[in-house]
Amino acid sequence: MSEHTLNPKAEAATYLKTLIALLILTAITVGASYIHFGSGAANVVVALTIATIKATLVALFFMHLLHDKPVNALIAAAGFVFLGLFLMFTLLDFDTRENPLPRNLPGMVTTPPPAATSPAPAPAPEHH
């Protein structure tokens, strides 16, 4: 645990400022979801950038990494780096796909439906 000594009023003010910043960033995230930034990947990058800023604020102030040992901040930063690497590889794979839509979505498939055929004759009744 950290050994920082702040008075409770200053700490409450810090939490309130962090809360307001997180609420503003949430409103920006919602607003950005209605804006098309050129491609789906650009929209994801914008959303993930805002989410990273919010996660950093939470880690610094609510998890007390700002006043903790530097090795804990290094571990948290390494987590962000690996998350970014994994997401980058996922986006690279997704961009190489020709048609990423599932085949079972009705009306979304670009291939024409099969030609209509005459219905199969009804089976003959069985005699006992």
The mean pLDDT values, 10 residues at a time, for the chain of 128 residues are 66 91 96 88 87 91 87 88 88 78 67 63 70
Same domain, yes or no: 16 and 59: yes
Q: In this structure, what are the phi and psi dihedrals at residue 5, rounded to the nearest 5 degrees? A: -120, 105
Are 38 and 74 in a shared domain? no
Residue 118: inside a domain: no
Same domain as 72, residue 59: no
Pairs from 79-82 (Cβ < 8 Å, separation ≥ 24): 80/52, 80/55, 80/56
For tokens 């919010």, the residue is: 54
**H runs (alpha helix) in the chain:** 8-33, 40-57, 70-95
Domain hosting residue 73, numbered range: 68-94
pTM for this predicted structure: 0.62
Total domain count, the chain: 2
Please indicate, yes or no, whether residues 16 and 44 belong to a single structural domain of this protein: yes
Q: Are 53 and 34 within one domain? A: yes
- Same structural domain, 78 and 38: no
Domain assignment present for 44: yes
